[in-house]
Chains A and B, each alone.
Chain A
Amino acid sequence: MPPDLDPTHAPAIAASRLSKIYGRGNTRVVALDEVSLTVDRGEVVALLGPSGAGKSTLLTAVGLINPPTAGQIAIGGVPVMDGDRALVDVRAFRRERLGFVFQKANLIPFLTAVQNVQIALEINDQPSRPARRRALQLLDYLGVADRADHLPAMLSGGQQQRVAVARALANRPSLILADEPTAALDSRRGRQVMELFRQVAHEQGAGVLVVTHDHRALDVFDRTVEMEDGKLRPASPPTQTPAPSPTLHGNQNES
């Protein structure tokens, strides 16, 4: 059992009856309609659904960057939101416990690949030397160590996204939230990223929630949930446990 796994086995995410209403009057949109969702530690969950279903809204609400209109959120057993009211210092919570990956890599353009990872560690009060060492390790792990000192503009889309994944993993988050992280990648590399999430979830006991449209990689997930019109569909039967996948260690031949 990984050492940072909470012995109380509190779920990574426990969201109950989350609602989010955008706008008012005739621009009023109910993006989330009393959504309840639980993601356990060590569990990798795919969030599916058509465009506009409310997937991103759910992800950002759980990620403490877009407060819900109503409902409760607990992360790792800690109640963090009650309606639109924060119960903790959300910024501190984000830097210590959460990791984000988005469709775009969102790297800081004036920092090199390794610095983009390093900054996440320094934000979380790591001294710069060990931060750099860990950042290099992560880049190595993701197969982009040879691009460590390149600026984002000199990296391919796939390389950028792997740097973004390394950044999300840097502080060993207990919850990883990813919104279409593989949309800009080809299917092989997309699958590699999903497998990496799975590996981190299982090795570090992190909960992982991934919004995806890529049905070919669904076998990587422990469970899938589907959204439509701001509601969760009744749970679909769990997919089969996938065949053990090769790790990404030493897999550096792609660009």
Chain B
Amino acid sequence: MNLAAQDIRHNLGRFTLTALGIGLLLMIVLGMGGIYRGMIEDALVVVDHIGTDLWVVQRGTRGPFAEISRVPANLEHRLRAVPGVASARPFVAHTIQREHRGRPLRITVQGLAWPEDKGEWIQLLAGRRLAQAHYEMIADASLGLGLGEVLRLGKDNYTVVGLTRGMVGSGGDGLAFFTVPDAQAIQFDLPGEATRLERAARRHRAQMQDLGRAQPGLLDRGAGPVSGIPALGPPLVSAVLVALAPGADAGEVVRTLDAWADVSVHSRSDQRDLLVRGLIDKARRQIGLFTVLLVIISTIIMALIIYTLTLDKVHDIALLKLMGARNRMIVGLILQQALLLGAIGYGIAYQLGSWIFPRFPRRVLITGDDLATLAIVVAAISLLASLLGIAKALRVEPNQVLA
């Protein structure tokens, strides 16, 4: 006969409520880990999926995920000339916040190097990829935009032609994909007057230079749109993505590019490490500390619950001792209840979490490893929590039956 099970059956309602409470606590512990995993996953979405071998960035910087990186727009063409490079395309990414339908909408604008890159690497939930060089966008479902919805960004209207799921930037904001020129137009959108002033200033700067004096035609172009003057405009691209030709020696290409004075080269795994360590390290410690606190709180709460469950049974424990029960039986009673509470709480945490986490605004990713770790933690918590009750039970005297 199992005393623990009998006691639980007799106090089923109370035990269920207690398990539910512990389950909710454990669910939060699980969620904290899930938020962290989700953050890493989100941060790596672009690096992992964009399909590039090398990131070429501003010299001395570690690329657009770490800091501001600006490379000249013509770098793309220089790179294509390097042996072993199959393709090179610009990388443009920045986050904007706009009002849309009365609520703030944060979008991480991602440029696609149309026409080489139409977004073939993006998994679509609905709709299609970009089919024209302007005024189309692919939006992540988390932005809450519908297919065919028209969004005014800067001075132009963009139509949502495709939807993705789970594509978010490292800040957790949904990605939207545009062609690079569109992305730049959105990024560098200025009021008309500012544009006029900038063009005047640019014309003035050109007049002061030898280049401007030797080539008067440049002055006219300087007064035109930025895209018409790659030599004079500010560098507009964050990085250039390089794909290597099949069989090309990556080390050779990296050595070549390292010799260029204006750029630095990072491999895809460099970028991953950078994201994980640089961007996520603080978040990990933050979330890690919270998780540790939650685990401690769970342990204390569970210990108190087990202790009160034991207090309720002091008379029965005294009676068992009076009848000559071994300590093993009494410790077993408490320990089994603690472990069962933990196990049921764990089950509830898992079930409830599976249902609730997908409804969170940011990704909460529960991995098998984390589930296994939590199982071990819960077992440890249960053991630890039962110590208080066990200590109490072992101090009970058989003649307390008579009290």
Contacts and interface: CB of A to CB of B under 8 A. Distances in A.
Interface of B: 1, 3, 6-7, 9-11, 315-316, 319-326, 329, 397-399, 401-402
A93 B324 contact: yes
Nearest to B398: A65
B1 A91 contact: no
Contacts of A131: 1
Contacts of A60: 399, 402
A111 to B, nearest CB: 6
A29 to B, nearest CB: 16
Contacts of A56: 402
A119 B1 contact: yes
B7 A110 contact: yes
Given A60-B402, A102-B401, A109-B316, A120 B323 contact: yes
A66 interface: yes
Given A108-B319, A115-B1, A179-B402, 16 more contacts: A60-B399, A65-B322, A65-B398, A65-B399, A91-B321, A94-B323, A94-B324, A98-B324, A100-B323, A102-B402, A110-B9, A119-B3, A120-B323, A123-B323, A128-B1, A151-B10
A96 B326 CA distance: 12
B324 A92 contact: yes
B316 A108 contact: yes
A137 interface: no
Contact of A106 (B321, B326, B401): B401
Interface residues of A, number: 30
Contacts, number: 65
B329 to A, nearest CB: 7
Interface string A106-141: 101111000100111011100010010000000000
A191 interface: no
Contacts of B402: 56, 60, 102, 179
B6 A95 contact: no
Contacts of B319: 106, 108
Contacts of A108: 316, 319-320
A115 B3 CA distance: 10
Nearest to A63: B322
A161 B398 CA distance: 19
Nearest to A89: B324
Nearest to A167: B323
A128 B329 CA distance: 14
A95 B10 contact: no
B324 A91 contact: yes
6 contacts: A94-B322, A94-B398, A108-B320, A118-B1, A119-B320, A123-B320
Nearest to A98: B324
Contacts of B399: 60, 65-66
Contacts of B9: 110
Interface centre among B10, B397, B402 (most CB of A within 10 A): B402
Nearest to A92: B324
Interface in A140-169: 151, 167
